[in-house]
Amino acid sequence: MGKVFSTERKIRFSHCDPAGIVYFVNFFDMVSGAVEDWFGEAIGFTFNEMHIKRRLGFPIVNTGCEFVRPCHLGDKLVLELAIAKLGRSSIEFSVLGQVAGEEKFRARHKVVLMSLDTLRSMPIPEHLRAKMEPYVAPQP
């Protein structure tokens, strides 16, 4: 319990808006990319295998983000992902964004396992759930 998956993004010119800071929408793309990385690298279930071969998906049920401080061109953004709640077919991630130890945003991102053929939710298979459980954050 309590493992954290960490991944880094370089803040690029194309992420930034006329105010010179990251356009907030790009943070959601990075959160979603962190989830994609976690599935591939931590769970061993790549999005390619998931979507194309197994015809499964994890569509987003809800997501939200609090933006604490702006990010700037050239920042090295570290995203730290954990599981706030692991349901029968859903996963609610918590994702922190930091630059040099300074908190930039805090997101909650809930996805649910779905068959792309029936378009119905499905229970998360046991062999995947076992790999996910170490990332469930201890309750405070």
Residue type, 18: P
Question: Nearest distance from residue 28's CB to a second copy, in Å?
Answer: 5
List 16's β-bridge partners, or say none. 22
State yes or no: residue 92 binds a second copy (CB under 8 A). no
44 binds a second copy (CB under 8 A): no
Which residues are CB-contacts of 48 (< 8 A; sequence separation ≥ 6)?
Answer: none
State which of residues 25, 126, 138, 140 lies at the interface with a second copy (CB under 8 A): 25
CB of 137 to a second copy, least distance (A): 19
- Cα–Cα distance, 94 to 79 (Å, whole number): 10
Q: Decide: is 65 part of the binding site for a second copy (CB under 8 A).
A: yes
CB-side exposure of 21: number of CA atoms within 13 Å?
Answer: 9
Q: Which stretch binds a second copy (CB under 8 A): 17-25, 78-86, 95-103, 123-131?
A: 17-25
With CA atoms as reference, report the closest residue to 128 among 46, 61, 62. 46
Task: Note the residues at the interface with a second copy (CB under 8 A).
Answer: 12-14, 16-21, 23-25, 28-29, 32-33, 36, 46-48, 51-52, 57, 59-67, 70, 72-74, 108, 116
